[in-house]
Structure 1
Amino acid sequence: MAVLGLISDSPKGILVGLYNIIIAPDILLTDYIAVGGIGATFINAAILAFANIYILYKLKLKVNGTLIATTLTIIGFSFIGKNIFNVWPIYLGGYLYSRYQNMNFKNVVLVVMFGTTLAPLVSETAFGLHVPVEVGIPLGIMLGILAGFVITPLSSHMVRVHDGYNLYNIGFTAGLLGSVITAVLRGFGLIIEPQQVLSSKYDVILKVILITMFILLIILGYIVNGKSFNGYKKVLSYSGRLVTDFTQLTGYGITYINMGIMGLVAITYVVISGGVMNGPTVAGVLTIVGFSAFGKHPKNAIPILIGVFVAGITNIWEIDSTMVIIAGLFGTTLAPLAGAYGWLIGVITGFIHLSVVMNVGMLHGGINLYNNGFSGGIVAALIVPLVDAFKKGD
Structure 2
Amino acid sequence: MILEKTNNYFKYKINTQQLNYSFFWIIVIVFGSLAFLFNSPEEILMGQISILLSPSNLVTDYFAISNVGATLFNSALLTAHSIAIIKISKAQINGAVIAGVLTVAAFSFFGKNLYNSTPIVIGAFAYAWVTRMPAEKSLLAALFGTALGPLVSEISFNLGLPLAQGILYGYAAGFFAGFFIPPIANHVVDFTKGFSVYNVGFTCGIIGTLFISVIRSTGKEVEPVSILSSGNNEYFTLIFLFLYTVMLGAGLYLNSWSFKGYKDLLKHTGQLSTDFLKTNGFQVTLINMSLLGFLSLGYVHLHGGELNGPVIGGILTVVGFGAFGKHIRNVIPILLGVSLMGVVNDYDMSDTGVVTAGLFGTTIAPIAGRYGKWAGMLAGALHLSLVSNTDNLHGGINLYNNGFSGGFVAAIMIPLLEAFHYHKEKRKKLREPVDPAKEVKSNE
CA drift of 1:198 comes to 0.5
1:45 paired with 2:113, answer no
1:233 paired residue number = 263
2:205 paired residue number = 175
CA drift of 1:316 comes to 5.2
Task: Check conservation: 2:338, 2:357, Cα contact below 8 A.
Answer: yes
SS in 2 for 1:89: helix
Pairing partner for 1:334 from 360, 364, 370: 364
Q: Which moved more, 1:208-217 or 1:252-261?
A: 208-217
Please give the alpha-carbon distance, in whole angstroms, between the structure 1 residues aligned to 2:216 and 2:44. Answer: 35
Amino acid at match of 1:155: A
1:10 paired with 2:40, answer yes
1:154 paired residue number = 184
SS in 1 for 2:219: coil
Extract unaligned runs of 5+ from structure 1. none
Pairing partner for 2:60 from 9, 20, 30: 30
1:140 paired residue number = 170
Task: Check conservation: 2:223, 2:392, Cα contact below 8 A.
Answer: no
CA drift of 1:315 comes to 1.8
Pairing partner for 2:405 from 368, 375, 391: 375
Please give the alpha-carbon distance, in whole angstroms, between the structure 2 residues aligned to 1:230 and 1:256. Answer: 13
SS in 1 for 2:181: helix
Task: Check conservation: 2:276, 2:285, Cα contact below 8 A.
Answer: yes
Please give the alpha-carbon distance, in whole angstroms, between the structure 2 residues aligned to 1:51 and 1:347. Answer: 37
Please give the alpha-carbon distance, in whole angstroms, between the structure 2 residues aligned to 1:189 and 1:370. Answer: 25
1:135-194 Cα shifts (integer Å, max 9, x gaps):
211111100000000100000000000100000000001101111111110000111133
CA drift of 1:32 comes to 0.4
SS in 2 for 1:85: helix
Pairing partner for 2:50 from 15, 20, 25: 20
1:282 paired with 2:312, answer yes
What does 1:205-224 align with in structure 2 at a 5 Å threshold? 205-224=235-254
Pairing partner for 2:133 from 87, 99, 103: 103
1:325 paired with 2:320, answer no
CA drift of 1:134 comes to 2.2
Please give the alpha-carbon distance, in whole angstroms, between the structure 2 residues aligned to 1:303 and 1:335. Answer: 8
1:225-266 Cα shifts (integer Å, max 9, x gaps):
122211111111010000111111111110000000000000
Q: Which moved more, 1:337-346 or 1:317-326?
A: 317-326
Please give the alpha-carbon distance, in whole angstroms, between the structure 2 residues aligned to 1:376 and 1:106. Answer: 26
Please give the alpha-carbon distance, in whole angstroms, between the structure 1 residues aligned to 2:169 and 2:88. Answer: 30
Please give the alpha-carbon distance, in whole angstroms, between the structure 2 residues aligned to 1:129 and 1:282. Answer: 29
Extract unaligned runs of 5+ from structure 2. 1-30, 425-444
Amino acid at match of 2:111: G
Task: Check conservation: 1:174, 1:368, Cα contact below 8 A.
Answer: yes
2:151 paired residue number = 121
Pairing partner for 1:307 from 318, 322, 337: 337
2:418 paired residue number = 388
Amino acid at match of 2:103: T
SS in 1 for 2:96: helix
Please give the alpha-carbon distance, in whole angstroms, between the structure 1 residues aligned to 2:142 and 2:90. Answer: 16
CA drift of 1:10 comes to 1.3
CA drift of 1:281 comes to 0.5
The higher radius of gyration belongs to 2
2:302 paired residue number = 272
Please give the alpha-carbon distance, in whole angstroms, between the structure 2 residues aligned to 1:20 and 1:201. Answer: 20
Please give the alpha-carbon distance, in whole angstroms, between the structure 2 residues aligned to 1:111 and 1:99. Answer: 14
**TM-score, normalised with respect to structure 2:** 0.87
Task: Check conservation: 1:225, 1:252, Cα contact below 8 A.
Answer: no
Please give the alpha-carbon distance, in whole angstroms, between the structure 2 residues aligned to 1:69 and 1:256. Answer: 12
CA drift of 1:7 comes to 2.2
1:97-134 Cα shifts (integer Å, max 9, x gaps):
11111122111112221000000000011111222222
2:120 paired residue number = 90
Displacement over 6 Å in runs of 4+: none
Q: Which moved more, 1:331-340 or 1:92-101?
A: 92-101
Which gives a bigger RCO, structure 1 or 2 (Cα 8 Å, sep 6+)?
1
SS in 1 for 2:116: coil
SS in 1 for 2:323: coil
What is the aligned-residue RMSD (CA, Å)? 1.0
Q: How many residues align?
A: 394
Identical columns (%): 43
